Structure 1
Amino acid sequence: MKYGIIGAGAMGYRFGVMLQKNANVDVDFIDTWERNVEAVREQGGVSVARDHENRHIEPINIFYPEEYHGYPDVWIIFKKQMQLAEELKRDKAAGIFHEDQYVFSAMNGMGHFEKIANYFAGDHIVCGTAMIATRLDGPANVDFMGAEGTEVMHLAKYDNNSADQIFQAIVADFKRAKLNPVVTDDWLGMCMSKVVFNAVTNTLCTMFEMQMGQFIEYAGVREMAKQLFDEAYDACERAGIYLIATRQEQVDSVITVSQEYKYHYPSMYQDFSKGRPTEVDYINGYIAKIGREHDFVCRTHEFVVHEVHMAEMMRKYHQMPENSAN
């Protein structure tokens, strides 16, 4: 099959390059960040390293939406939550969406599948999560974190129906790409499991500007994680959402994943450190929203959201790098 990547950022490059290189399928990249597109064209591809080593140029095809005339079987979307609505509107206006196409996304946070469903039929949407650490160090410059083969991802049908032929083909291509897909039958519980995990590691590492390995050096990490997880699980259970991991498994995963990626700064910190808005409203804020909708106040998550926004506000009093991305 042919794939189109919407959003040539850290994860867009990761999925696209691995599909192109390992699964030997055709991949086109669509992006609206001019510096990124032009850098790819100037250097003949995207500069890729893995764990800071073996940097090289991977040739790719990249386009602005308005100049694209390809016809992928499957779109893969990786945009920041706050940019997605405008991106989909622009892509639709450019005429690159078609009724028979499928779409896959494994973005951070929640709220994106509802937006995607405005443009694609529910039975053509594939939901995903990815426990895959990647850094975008600049335009057309990406670093895949973790040894090849350690990638972990889950996917499920948005309509929760049985797998069709295209869905099975997507899974097969992801396997050949060495993305290690695991199929589940409940997209909401699957996605919320990742949101709840990120609500601890991404948010706390960002607030204290630390790597994941530094984060777990603190003796109180398990207690902090348990407090945030318990609150999130209580809210989800009241909403009838059942996560694929137990509370204890989530607490344990904070330690094991942070050990695996001990030198990694989570994506929320990467945005924060570059002066960009964070996705905290779509992570901790989404958990708090679910709670309030079901008569349960997630006081810790609501407090953490305010803390992150306060940290964002304080950047105006400090010299920050120029906002380099849309």
Structure 2
Amino acid sequence: MRICIVGAGAIGGFLGARLALAGQDVTLIARGPHLQAIRDHGLKLIEIDGRERVVKTRATSDFEEAGPQDVVIVALKAGSLPAIAPRLRALYHAETSVVTAQNGFPWWYFHKLPGPYENRRVELVDPGGVIEANIEPRRVIGIIVYPAADIDTPGVIRHVEGERFSLGELDGEKTERVRILREAFEAAGMKAKVTPRIRWETWVKLWGNLAFNPISALTRSTLEEICRYPLTRQLARTMMQEAQTVAERLGIDFGIKIEQRIDGAEKVGAHKTSMLQDIERGRPTEVDAMVGAVAELGRWMDIPTPSIDAVYASVKLLEQRTTL
């Protein structure tokens, strides 16, 4: 199977290395010193147990050079997807599947979803509809990413934790293409399941991220610090309650209580969220997809989200001041 990883950074590099080591025909799309290091020395993956494995595979910044693929895994930040979407067409043949592995509320959420919002677009995650215009919904396989990884140095990916992924068709069907992709992930040593409830799982992950990530970025605090300090714990609780009201209007039943979700985050320990890491490194955050999108949904439904709105505005200003 020909698989292209668009954005061979931390998670993209981890996926690309694992899949290539398992014998898949992998092409990496990268740029700058990271791309040059991969070309010169191969892509090195440092596993959790310290093992170092190097894979030599095609790497380029040219989508035309990469050519048509069977599966395209887009592992860029959510905010980068609109700009890159038109270039993805060079990677398609008639049956190419596209897996968009971003944090936050996915641009495809309302496609194939019967109800009052069917096929409606969330402007903050797909401004002007450019993503939908260049990734036909029929190509999309949903994915939830749970592992964490870092780029140690250009060309070197460090696997930090986790190997679990969830995959799912937007209509919940267990198709042949999603079965084949699951088997490829599993052959590469990852834990993958096919879920008929990809939207529910999206909300379960987003539910915590929309609170903990921005609070972490604003306060420069770890998960356990946020959860143990009464005022930030209460803020997270309030934001999650607002989000729960929005999600329930869409038919989502989380199945667990907010306190259980917060307790679970606390147990992760002294972990810096991805949004905090982005702020520290002067990079754009995924606050639009993680936080702003839920506020936008609230406005659709006339559901007030005052805490989410305030935290979103604060992170947007912080991002403007710190982005290089």
> Which runs of 5 or more structure 2 residues have no equivalent in the other structure?
109-125
Deviation at 1:74, TM superposition (A): 0.8
Partners of 2:279 and 2:322 within 8 A in 1: no
8 A contact 1:236–1:290 mirrored in 2: no
Name the CA distance, whole Å, in 1 between partners of 2:177 and 2:315: 40
The verdict on how the C-alpha distance between 1:293 and 1:198 changes in structure 2, with shifts beyond 3 A counting, is same
Distance 1:203 1:50, change over 3 A: farther
Q: Does 1:72 align with 2:69?
A: yes
Report which stretch shifted further, 4-13 or 123-132: 123-132
| 1:130 maps onto 2:145 in alignment | yes
Q: Which residue of the partner structure matches residue 30 of structure 1?
A: 29
Match of 2:68, as an amino acid? Answer: Y
Instruction: Determine the C-alpha separation between the residues in 1 that align with 2:48 and 2:221.
Output: 18
Partners of 1:59 and 1:221 in 2: CA distance: 46
Residue 255 of structure 2 is aligned with which of 223, 246, 254?
Answer: 246
Alignment equivalent of 2:208, drawn from 179, 184, 197: 197
Query: For residues 161-190 of structure 1, what are the alpha-carbon distances to aligned partners after superposition, in whole Å with 9 as ceiling and x for unaligned?
Result: 522211111112222223322322233332
**TM-score, normalized by length of structure 1?**
0.83
The aligned counterpart of 2:116 is none
After the TM superposition, which residues 144-293 of structure 1 pair with which residues of structure 2 at under 5 Å, given as runs? 144-146=159-161, 150-158=162-170, 160-219=171-230, 222-238=233-249, 240-243=250-253, 245-248=254-257, 251-260=259-268, 262-293=269-300
TM-score in terms of structure 2 length: 0.83
CA deviation after TM superposition for structure 1 residue 97, in Å:
1.9
Question: How far is 1:8 from its partner?
Answer: 0.9
Q: Deviations over 1:207-254 (max 9, x none)?
A: 22233344444355653332221110101222x2415x3341x54344
Give the counterpart letter for 1:299 in structure 2. P
- SS at the partner of 1:207? helix
Q: 5+ residue gaps in structure 1?
A: 317-322
- Are 1:106 and 2:104 matched, yes or no? no
Please give the secondary structure, in 2, of the residue aligned with 1:275. coil
The share of aligned pairs that are identical, in percent, is 23
Amino acid paired to 1:99: A
CA deviation digits over 1:290-324, x for unaligned, max 9? 111001111111011112123224438xxxxxx4x
Q: What is the aligned-residue RMSD (CA, Å)?
A: 2.6
Query: Are the structure 2 counterparts of residues 161 and 130 from structure 1 closer, same or farther at C-alpha, using a change threshold of 3 Å?
Result: closer
The number of equivalent residue pairs is 304
Shift of the 228–308 alpha-carbon distance from structure 1 to 2, 3 Å rule, reads: same
**Partners of 1:194 and 1:220 in 2: how far apart?**
22
Q: What is the distance in 2 between the residues matched to 1:128 and 1:66?
A: 22
